[in-house]
């Protein structure tokens, strides 16, 4: 297994910078996700780790050994593509065995290693079938076996679940996580799906325009976003984000959001902002961190329900205050209907503020 370090890595294609001076330490034996929208540089980073691309600048280390310039076949890396890339004329056994045949591994050893890894991935009963005779989820497992049969130091997964339907995606991500934990292999997952990243990865690097925006645990990405991009990208339904001006009304601090919404400022937040000169922010609060009350409360604002959407086990309750929308997520069995008046109370410790100019998180502790 391998710990991986990227130091000041840049990858440019002519005048286009795909990855811009990123540094990252990936721990041995864990799953790390590279998460972000299309074109953010995550697959380019993965392909540099595989050796398919060489960095324009910077250094890549596997266990303190610099691998710049080392070709893919000498890096002992297993790579699983989105398309699976199976040979249709070969059986499952032959597809898995192919990289070992290229290395001229003895036939008896090939047979044993293929059978062993197929048993771990639970496809040992499919070895004599061809790809067209098995499902998409089973094909994905074959591709995973082919990557793992080499006993790689590093497993690279490039959008491995994108071609699967929703139910199979849930089952397969749990299975990949089980296999990774059983083998203890260092794994790097590229995905644009935040659910995939937070359920499978021990740590996540959120990327945008070739730059890492935040690298932390999934929990910290949700609870302590470093900037407004991370806050808006993480979470489903997305965070409520509103322009807010800090002002005073009747001796109490309030956030004015548009012309009709005034949100009381909890005392702890007011104290944290007391020494700041700026009074204009972007205020964020996640829908699940808004409570709906039937009675007035000093930290709640009154609102009329604009729309209710049933999302299975939850309801998304939409309030409108002029040009500002505020959405709350409540359990499906909560009685609430369009046109009803409710009081909306943000959980004080779940309010986020970002600078209006730089979009960076504003510290609110203390």
Q: Which domains does the chain have, with CATH numbers?
A: 4-228 (3.40.50.300), 240-355 (2.40.50.140)
pLDDT of residue 83: 80
Burial 305-337 (b: 16+ CB within 10 A, else e): beebeeeeebbebbbbbeebebbbbbeeeeeee
User: Tens digits of per-residue pLDDT, 115-146?
Assistant: 999 988 889 999 999 999 998 888 988 998 99
Residue 163: per-residue pLDDT: 76
Q: Which residue has the higher pLDDT, 19 or 298?
A: 19
CB 55 within 8 A of CB 48: yes
Q: What is the pLDDT of residues 198-207, one digit of tens each?
A: 999 999 999 9
Mean pLDDT calculated for residue range 304-321: 96
**For range 15-19, the mean pLDDT:** 97
In this predicted structure, what is the pLDDT of residue 167? 80
Average pLDDT value for residue range 52-58 = 96
**Is residue 363 classed exposed, middle or buried when 0-12, 13-18 and 19+ CB atoms within 10 A define those classes?**
exposed
pLDDT, mean of residues 18-34: 96
Instruction: Tell whether the model's pLDDT for residue 24 goes beyond 90.
Output: yes
pLDDT of residue 239 exceeding 90: yes
Task: Say which range, 164-178, 210-224, 246-260, has the weakest mean pLDDT.
Answer: 164-178
The full 3-state SS of the chain, as one line of letters, equals: CCCEEEEEEEEEECCEEEEEEEEEEECCCCEEEEECCCCCCHHHHHHHHHCCCCCCEEEEEECCEECCCCCHHHCCEEEECCCCCCCCCCCHHHHHHHHHHHCCCCHHHHHHHHHHHHHHCCCCCCCCCCHHHCCHHHHHHHHHHHHHCCCCCEEEEECCCCCCCHHHHHHHHHHHHHHHHHHCCEEEEEECCHHHHHHHCCEEEEEECCEEEEEECHHHHHHCCCEHHHHHHCCCCCCEEEEEEEEEECCEEEEEECCCEEEECCHHHHHHHCCCCCCEEEEEECHHHEEEECCCCCCCEEEEEEEEEECCCEEEEEEEECCEEEEEEEECCCCCCCCCEEEEEECHHHCEEEECCCCEECCCCC
Q: What is the mean pLDDT of the chain?
A: 93
Confidence of residue 1 (pLDDT cuts 50, 70, 90): low
Query: How much of the chain, in percent, has pLDDT values that exceed 90?
Result: 77
Residue 172 has what pLDDT? 81
pTM for the model stands at 0.90
């Amino acid at each position: 297994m391998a710990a991986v370090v990227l130091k000041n890595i840049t990858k440019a294609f002519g005048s286009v910078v795909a990855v811009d001076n990123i540094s990252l330490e990936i721990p041995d034996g864990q799953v790390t996700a590279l998460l972000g929208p299309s074109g953010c540089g995550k697959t380019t980073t993965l392909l540099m780790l595989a050796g398919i691309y060489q960095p324009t600048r910077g250094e890549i280390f596997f266990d303190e050994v610099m691998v710049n310039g080392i070709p893919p076949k000498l890096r002992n890396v297993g790579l699983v593509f989105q398309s699976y890339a199976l040979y249709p004329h070969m059986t499952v056994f032959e597809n898995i065995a192919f990289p070992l045949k290229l290395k001229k591994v003895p036939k008896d050893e090939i047979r044993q290693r293929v059978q062993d890894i197929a048993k771990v991935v639970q496809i040992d009963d499919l070895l004599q079938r061809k790809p067209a005779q098995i499902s998409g989820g089973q094909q994905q497992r074959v591709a995973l076996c082919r990557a793992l049969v080499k006993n790689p130091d590093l497993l690279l997964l490039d959008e491995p679940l994108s071609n699967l339907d929703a139910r199979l995606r849930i089952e397969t991500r749990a299975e990949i996580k089980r296999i990774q934990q059983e083998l203890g292999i260092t794994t790097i997952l590229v995905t644009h799906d935040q659910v995939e990243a937070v359920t499978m990865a021990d740590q996540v690097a959120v990327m945008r325009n070739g730059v890492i925006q935040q690298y932390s645990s999934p929990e910290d990405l949700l609870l302590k976003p470093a900037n407004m991009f991370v806050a808006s990208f993480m979470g489903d339904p997305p965070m409520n984000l509103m322009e807010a001006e800090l002002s005073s009304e009747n001796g109490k601090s309030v956030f004015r959001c548009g012309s009709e919404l005034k949100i009381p400022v909890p005392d702890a937040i007011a104290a944290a902002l007391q020494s700041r000169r700026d009074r204009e922010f972007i205020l964020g609060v996640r829908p699940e961190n808004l409570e709906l009350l039937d009675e007035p409360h000093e930290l709640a604002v009154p609102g009329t329900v604009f729309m209710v959407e049933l999302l299975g086990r939850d309801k998304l309750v939409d309030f409108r205050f002029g040009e500002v929308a505020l959405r709350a997520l409540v359990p499906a069995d909560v009685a609430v209907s369009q046109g009803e008046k409710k009081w909306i109370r943000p959980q004080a410790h779940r309010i986020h503020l970002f600078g209006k100019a730089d979009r960076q998180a504003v510290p609110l502790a203390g």
